[in-house]
Structure 1
Amino acid sequence: MSRTRIDVHTHLIPPFWAEELKTHGGDPSGWGSPEWSPEQLLRFMDEEDIAVSVLSLTAPGVEGWKGDDRTEMTRRVNDYGANLMAQNPKRFGYFATLPLPDTDAALSEITRVYDELHVDGVTLHSNYDGIYISDPRFEPIWEELERRSATVFLHPTRPPMPVLPGAPSPLADYPADTTRSALDLVLKGHRKRFASTKVILSHGGGYLAFAATRFAELSASLSKDRDAEDFMTDIRSFYYDTALVAPSGLPSLLSVIPSEHIVFGTDYPYASEKVCKTFTANLDKSAAGKADLLQAINRNAAVMIPRFSSGVA
């Protein structure tokens, strides 16, 4: 069977992590954990024409653990994810979790996951304990990722504000915090200083593409040395996944972002199978008559994951 899609936005749920999360802060977003297994995922992938799913741990990640316990849980999660990838390398990839905001522990884990576990990239959250990822204290992390020309999967977490009653964070806060974090990277010149990193923004980049002209023009009006096009260049430098995007969010992406920087994603299993299939069908319908565009979106991720560049299942 020929499968065409590379899904960069698929989550694993290690059973030990899900169980211990209950006594380590739970899920402060208000969403909760669905059922998950590798077997369920493979069935879903086959049904949706997905060749490869690149697995990652979703928010809140390991933030509920403290000190050495956080580092230990990070290692256990990464060993679990890397083992799934090693057992089925043609179907699974893995973006490693880091024990941030502990920079020293995170640097040690970057070395381990790349040199020993051979992961495909790392996951960063939009903020850690309210500290956004452009903060100077995370500079050593970015320097090491730049040295490795790393792929970074930027996933939102709950912003430093109360959850809106009746609206769990993934509903509105997650896209907003992705936007906030990514715009901060642009304003701080991060995309130029760390240009070798390939940063994937979840959920179509939140509202970044939709408001790109606003952000670029207003930022330029406040800057002495950068014009609007300079800000737009940095906005276009990100990669944007299609999880929960089509059809309403797709026109903004296509009008602003180069098609080669749009990559396929589902957000399985935190988006239910029904929801994932709806958004994938929406993407296919939106690209009807544009076979080259759809093929590019489905396969663009191979560029940032070298072992898939020569073809996947």
Structure 2
Amino acid sequence: MRHRRIAAEEAFATPEQLAAYRLLGESGWRDPDVQFWKGAVAGAFDDIVARLLDVGEGRVAAMDRHGIDVQILSLTSPGVQLFAPARASELARASNDLLAAAIARHPTRFAGLAAVAPHDPAGAVREMERAIGSLGLKGILINSHTDGRYLDEAQFLPVLEAAEAMAVPVYLHPRSLPEAAAAGYGAHHLNGGIWGYAAETGLHAVRLIMAGVFARLPGLRIVLGHLGEGLPWWLYRLDYMYKLQSRRIPRGANLLPSDYVRQNFWITTSGMNDADAVRFCIAKLGVERVLWAVDYPYQEAGEAVSFLNAMDLPAAHKRAIFGANAERLFGIAALEQAA
């Protein structure tokens, strides 16, 4: 049975963004994200860069080859968060305009998550109101820390309050660890997708829980890629240690960590084409919390389609993971409405 396939974590880039990255690389800044993009824009990953920049016919043709109906597009990591606040907000607005134009050209094939500059909280809220209210984007994506600062800190509260008030999800996407935390990951090239991304983004999610963010904002919805950046595997341990530590450490949360994960988080399969791991996450969180994604163009679409096609799951579960859960979470019109 053919289910509608909505890929929930699919990256794009803009020429202005990559030109700005090139200037950062030429400045000598040693940030790992800067150094990656310095090599990328110099030609080290020409095939990936070309696919990131294509938000038109070439991307749609690639989707058609693998039977992907919709991509939810977001500005590739680390987005605008490397730049000073005013410049970051300027780049976010420009990228959201480009994204909205691409969606307007292919309204049944693309949806989008807005870029914002979290270190410009007032500007980020204004851009959320514009991008979601006027441009029709479906949420926001934040690339984990900003200059080593995390969303549980008070300065970022207006952004999270706005997301809750607008009833849109925040996709918490990985980036390289901040410099102060990265030393132990560097010797064996671990500060990236192989390990560091999940460690850093999982830490960010746990910080939100332990700081009491969801006790204050119970309607806030967070999406984590890569099958939850490790959190589903740690629910028992988080709860056990939370109860043990709570005897001596004041906590802002009033439920167990696992309660918040099950109430306020959704996860996607991006970059995790592992059937056993997906079954585990379904058992821990419920099938309604699991969404399908490719992580295009960093992962291969064909593999992402094939692995879920081959899983021995009830048809209703496949339908939910492939597309129905994304329709509900992101407010994407169901197929009969979109037709």
**TM-score normalized by structure 2?**
0.83
- Of residues 293, 298, 304, the one that matches 1:265 is 293
Alpha-carbon spacing, 1:130–1:307, altered in 2? closer, same or farther (3 Å): same
Tell me the equivalent position of 2:306: 281
Query: Would the aligned equivalents of 1:3 and 1:50 in 2 still touch at CA under 8 Å?
Result: no
Query: Would the aligned equivalents of 1:216 and 1:228 in 2 still touch at CA under 8 Å?
Result: no
Does residue 184 of structure 1 match 2:190?
Answer: no
| CA RMSD after TM alignment | 2.4
**1:58 positional shift:** 2.1
Letter paired with 1:288 = D
**TM-score normalized by structure 1?**
0.90
**1:175 positional shift:** 1.1
Alpha-carbon spacing, 1:229–1:49, altered in 2? closer, same or farther (3 Å): farther
Tell me the equivalent position of 2:322: 298
Alpha-carbon spacing, 1:92–1:222, altered in 2? closer, same or farther (3 Å): same
Tell me the equivalent position of 1:242: 269
Letter paired with 1:28 = V
Does residue 53 of structure 1 match 2:79?
Answer: no
1: CA distance between counterparts of 2:160 and 2:22? Answer: 31
Tell me the equivalent position of 1:128: 146
> Any idea what SS the aligned residue of 1:240 has?
strand
1: CA distance between counterparts of 2:160 and 2:253? Answer: 25
**1:64 positional shift:** 2.9
**1:229 positional shift:** 7.0
**1:91 positional shift:** 0.7
The answer for unaligned runs of 5 or more in structure 1 is: none
* Greater percentage in helix: 2
Q: How does 1:72-151 map to 2 (within 5 A)?
A: 72-151=90-169
Does residue 231 of structure 1 match 2:262?
Answer: no
Alpha-carbon spacing, 1:146–1:289, altered in 2? closer, same or farther (3 Å): closer
Tell me the equivalent position of 1:7: 7
Q: Deviations over 1:140-161 (max 9, x none)?
A: 1111111111121110111223
Tell me the equivalent position of 2:223: 200
Q: How many residues align?
A: 308
**1:173 positional shift:** 1.0
**1:288 positional shift:** 2.1
2: CA distance between counterparts of 1:73 and 1:49? Answer: 32
Alpha-carbon spacing, 1:67–1:227, altered in 2? closer, same or farther (3 Å): closer
Q: Deviations over 1:95-153 (max 9, x none)?
A: 00001212122122112212221211111222111111111111111111111111211
1: CA distance between counterparts of 2:35 and 2:196? Answer: 9
* Deviating more after overlay: 64-73 vs 22-31: 22-31
Does residue 23 of structure 1 match 2:61?
Answer: no
Query: Would the aligned equivalents of 1:220 and 1:228 in 2 still touch at CA under 8 Å?
Result: no
Q: Deviations over 1:225-268 (max 9, x none)?
A: 89997321111121000112231532431221110010011100
- Of residues 154, 157, 161, the one that matches 2:175 is 157
Percentage of pairs with the same residue: 25
The answer for unaligned runs of 5 or more in structure 2 is: 27-32
1: CA distance between counterparts of 2:309 and 2:101? Answer: 32
